Amino acid sequence: MIFSLSKPIKARTAVIVVALLLVVFANGAFFKHVGAIYPLAGGNLFFVISLGIVLFSVTVILLSLLSGRYTLKPILITVLLVTSMVAYFMDAYDVVIDSHMIQNLLETNIKESVDLLSFKQVLYFVLLGVIPSVIVYRLKIVSMTLTETLVDKAKVIGIALAVAVVIIFSFSKYYTSFFREHKPLRYYANPAYYLYSVGHYAQETFSHPYSGIAPIGEDAKIISGNQPRKLIVLVVGEAVRWDHFGLNGYSRDTTPLLRKEDIINYTQFTSSGTETAVSVPCMFSSFGREGYDKEKAKHTENVLDVLKRAGVNILWRDNNSDSKGVADRVSYEDYQSPKVNTICDEECRDEGMLVGLQEYINTHPKGDILIVLHQMGNHGPAYYKRYTKPFEKYTPVCKTNQLEQCSKEEITNAYDNTILYTDTFLTQVIALLKGNDERFATGMFYLSDHGESLGENGLYLHGFPYAIAPEAQKHVPAVMWFGKQFKIDKAKMADSAKEPQTQDSLFHTLLGYLDVNTTIYQPRLDLLHVGR
Ligand SMILES: [Zn+2]
């Protein structure tokens, strides 16, 4: 016995001991799956040990947050009993236990008669659940005032958090692939994952302030005459950082073809988020970065709805994950599928989205046209998969999604080759527009959804909390191209492209492109306004 039952102990000691017990004895499935991906050799051994410490820190934090001054024992006992059963099911059946499963387990155990339980299950329940619970029940806990309890909790959580953060940063390449590429592994973390999913389930169930889709810009109207018709292509890029884009003065010319075009290049463009799931819905919404809320945006119309109402033909082609809800009410085509995309080898290429676009244009003889192309672009960490052989200009490249196996140079080479591919893709978009220049006032707007970290301060990929994210994840390339019939003062545009701009402007700029007026249109945020 680590401590005497008769001597009072602090609440935090009980939390720490229970967390240690659970991490060591209730995580067989977790470490088995981790070991399968990170065999215990070389650097992996230290990583797996560090993972154990992070899991311990997370468990301490969760138990500290859950337990209150008077609920310490009931919470610890409940967690011990449930976790023992979760450990059994994960070890025995290799299943992942989420909130729905727990509900099932609880109901099943009550309904089923005892003789249906296996001996092994009883063993888990008794050794890992009942015996520790009895000990917890009999513990004498030092009584503390509310203030003392809160201070003590803050200390424990602060230290556990600091330990976890330091470790994650020290093994940042490993943790990047652990969190990004091996998501399912965390589902085996016991009790961390089921506690998280119960919390998530409760939040989903009880917080539904929004319903339906609130209309905006109901007065939207096209204000220009109908001639010439407009043909606009918006390219939403993926994870391209500003300073690796050749046009912005990068030491490598990663945009040799765009350079030859008559381009307006925005040099100080900031994203709305550091990940696709935030940036994309945010930039199409009317809320702007500061007013953005995921649920609110999901239940409110976006600029595509407004343009559609005004009579613009809209087509969204997607070679990324999906439109994140933005294109739910307009024509949407999934180009990640080889059934639709005709240019697929290892994976479906962005170029495939251009196939048949001329036909789409030809078969829409009335009204303006807006085509949105959502690229796979520089989606990491497997940058080497994002381009075809002719674009492998910078070598050697990192040929795995396990970033810890590559040097920073190999990762950067693969990343830069991918920008070369996008350079060609954007030039093909411009070529398509040039082919329609006689019939339409044409324009292209390309902007990346967010940037990317490439190892600076140990950070890789993106998705860092916005407030403390490095510039590399927020500063993005943005370029415009205009056809000869599009009435715009390019010199004025070029001047304003040197000023700081944000993705908050996309909503109003699209209204500007298509000459759609509504009371919610703000010329100040329309990037084209200065050139009109
Ligand atoms: Zn993205």
Beta strands in 220-259 (DSSP E): 221-222, 229-237
Cβ atoms of residues 350 and 375 within 8 Å: yes
Hey, how many other C-beta atoms are within 10 angstroms of the C-beta on 287?
17
507 alpha carbon – ligand 1 mean position (Å):
18
Could you please report the per-residue DSSP string of 350-392? GGGGGTTHHHHHHT--SS-EEEEEE--TT-SS-GGGGS-GGG-
What pLDDT shows up at residue 1? Answer: 46
419 alpha carbon – ligand 1 mean position (Å):
14
The CA–CA distances, whole Å, from 80 to 2, 196, 335 equal: 18, 16, 47
Q: Which of 482, 479, 400 is CA-nearest to residue 433?
A: 482
292 alpha carbon – ligand 1 mean position (Å):
17
351 alpha carbon – ligand 1 mean position (Å):
18
2 alpha carbon – ligand 1 mean position (Å):
49
Cβ atoms of residues 328 and 353 within 8 Å: no
Residue 33: half-sphere exposure toward Cβ, Cα within 13 Å: 18
Compute the distance between CA of residue 18 and CA of residue 387 in angstroms, rounded to an integer: 49
379 alpha carbon – ligand 1 mean position (Å):
7
Cβ atoms of residues 178 and 185 within 8 Å: yes
Give Cα 63 distance to the centre of its chain: 27
Compute the distance between CA of residue 454 and CA of residue 50 in angstroms, rounded to an integer: 23
Per-residue pLDDT of the chain (532 residues; tens, 9 = 90+): 455 667 899 999 999 999 999 999 999 999 998 988 888 876 788 899 999 999 999 999 999 999 988 899 999 999 999 999 889 888 877 777 766 666 655 555 554 444 456 788 889 999 999 999 999 999 999 988 999 999 999 999 999 999 999 999 998 888 988 888 887 888 889 999 988 888 877 777 677 678 889 999 999 999 977 679 999 999 999 999 999 999 999 999 999 999 999 999 999 999 999 999 999 999 999 999 999 998 899 999 999 999 999 999 999 999 998 999 999 999 999 999 999 999 999 899 999 999 999 999 999 999 999 999 999 999 988 899 999 999 999 999 999 877 878 899 999 999 999 999 999 999 999 999 999 999 999 999 999 999 999 988 878 888 888 988 899 999 999 999 999 999 999 999 999 999 999 999 999 999 999 999 999 999 999 999 999 9
38 alpha carbon – ligand 1 mean position (Å):
27
281 alpha carbon – ligand 1 mean position (Å):
11
| Three-class DSSP category at 135 | helix
64 alpha carbon – ligand 1 mean position (Å):
34
Compute the distance between CA of residue 43 and CA of residue 38 in angstroms, rounded to an integer: 9
By the 10 Å C-beta count (0-12 exposed, 13-18 middle, 19+ buried), 389 is classed as exposed
143 alpha carbon – ligand 1 mean position (Å):
50
Going 234 to 236 to 237 to 241, the CA torsion angle's sign is positive
276 alpha carbon – ligand 1 mean position (Å):
4
279 alpha carbon – ligand 1 mean position (Å):
7
What pLDDT shows up at residue 226? Answer: 61
Our separate counts of H helices and E strands in the chain read: 20, 12
Residue 15: half-sphere exposure toward Cβ, Cα within 13 Å: 25
Contacts of 328 (CB under 8 A, 6+ apart): none
By the 10 Å C-beta count (0-12 exposed, 13-18 middle, 19+ buried), 241 is classed as buried
313 alpha carbon – ligand 1 mean position (Å):
25
456 alpha carbon – ligand 1 mean position (Å):
19
345 alpha carbon – ligand 1 mean position (Å):
22
Q: Which of 255, 231, 251, 233 is CA-nearest to residue 477?
A: 255
Indicate the helix (H) or strand (E) that contains 525. none
What pLDDT shows up at residue 380? Answer: 86
Phi and psi (nearest 5°) for 396?
-75, 155
235 alpha carbon – ligand 1 mean position (Å):
13
267 alpha carbon – ligand 1 mean position (Å):
19
Q: Which of 374, 379, 479 is CA-nearest to residue 430?
A: 479
120 alpha carbon – ligand 1 mean position (Å):
46
398 alpha carbon – ligand 1 mean position (Å):
20
Contacts of 430 (CB under 8 A, 6+ apart): 261, 444, 481
324 alpha carbon – ligand 1 mean position (Å):
11
Q: Using a CB cutoff of 8 Å and minimum separation of 24, what contacts does 342-346 make?
A: 345/388, 346/385
